[in-house]
Amino acid sequence: MAVVGLGLIEWRKESFATDPLALPGENWFFALLVTAWLVAIVHLLSRLAHAKLRSLQHGGRDLQRILGNVTTGQIAVIALMSGIGEEILFRGWLYHETGLWASSIIFGLVHVPPNRKWLYWPIFATAMGIAFGWIYDWSGSLLFPILLHAGINFLNLRTLLKKASQG
């Protein structure tokens, strides 16, 4: 996904208003703090939703059946790779082609679940696509949506798998 996204960026970047591969600017530390705060808030809200919604509890068990017993390191690699690949493609390229709303809706549609018990997933992905797009637009750097995406994926996946293994 990252390779495809990088190729599409290279092909079209002359038509983009900003360079999606630009390094973070002067306010990088503040953007990093906002990113960490958003990771914490989204994870807290996800934990609350998981405690209340049976479909999320079933989703955790389904993920555990699919992934098996993965280590924390393996979860970190999955989270980082999905954060990098999806953000380069969706915010680095598609955002510039279609804008915030369309790229976020397409991001949500890509996350259509394998079964009906996971119908929350594309809704959550669309909302997160808006958040990733906002922090990209605000910070001017893909680094922060990548960190936000990877952080949320890591914490939520680790929590879902841990709770699923506990029964």
Q: Could you read off the pLDDT of 45-91 as tens digits, one per residue?
A: 999 988 887 777 777 777 778 887 889 999 999 999 999 999 999 99
- Sequence-distant (≥ 6) Cβ neighbours of residue 22 within 8 angstroms: 140, 141
- Nearest CA to 1 among 112, 78, 114? 78
Q: Is 158 helix (H, G, I), strand (E, B) or coil?
A: helix
Q: Record the pTM.
A: 0.93
Give me the chain's average pLDDT, please: 91
pLDDT band of residue 167 (cuts 50, 70, 90) is low
How far apart CA 45 and CA 37 sit, in angstroms, is 12
Mean pLDDT over 125-129 rounds to 97
pLDDT at 140 over 80: yes
Asked if 136 and 91 touch (Cβ cutoff 8 Å), the reply is yes
How far apart CA 162 and CA 164 sit, in angstroms, is 5
pLDDT score, position 80:
97
φ/ψ (deg, to 5) at 26 = -60, -35
